[in-house]
Amino acid sequence: MRLIKWFFLFVFTTVVIVSLYQTNWFQKKYMYPMYYQQEVYRYALKNNLNPFLVAGVIRTESKYNPTARSPKGARGLMQLMPTTANWIAAQNKLTVLSDQDLYNPDLNIKLGTWYLSELLNEFHNNEILALAAYNGGRGNVKDWMRRFQWTYDFTEIDKIPFPETRDFVHRVQKSKEKYQYLYGR
């Protein structure tokens, strides 16, 4: 009899936990928070980007940690390499940045959204190619397009040769869809 009570208590608790996990409130608070919303929306709109795509990049790159730093040296929310960030700054007639400046959320999102917008323009608004270039480098993506005869209509994420980049594109797209569902109007 005692075992049956424990079993039903276990089942009831599991059902409650699973039900809570699936609520929009829980998903927004714990799984897909969208910090820095004002900056994300401002710079996404300024650069003609979907704000949920930007949120997906930030979640995938840094999990919204403004002091994130990769082993390769990328910094901040959108994980910008200092050399790339300074190139972006020069393109926008901004002063040369220190590596520490990239930990500033507003500046990092400003630079990262501009760069993502440039990549989308370069790759004819193909989100997959632009995200692959954001993670794996624009030169690599151009090389893949030549070697594998990809066109700007490319859609086969699983054919991206770098596993890290392939995973990055999958994760950003999944996060973008989830953000669109949770925060879209």
**Catalytic residue ranges:** 61
β-partners of residue 3 are none
Cβ contacts of 140 within 8 Å, gap of 6 or more:
132, 133, 162, 165
Contact 37, 64 (CB under 8 A): no
**Distance between CA atoms of residues 6 and 2, nearest Å:** 6
How many angstroms from the chain centroid is the CA of residue 147? 27
Contact 32, 175 (CB under 8 A): yes
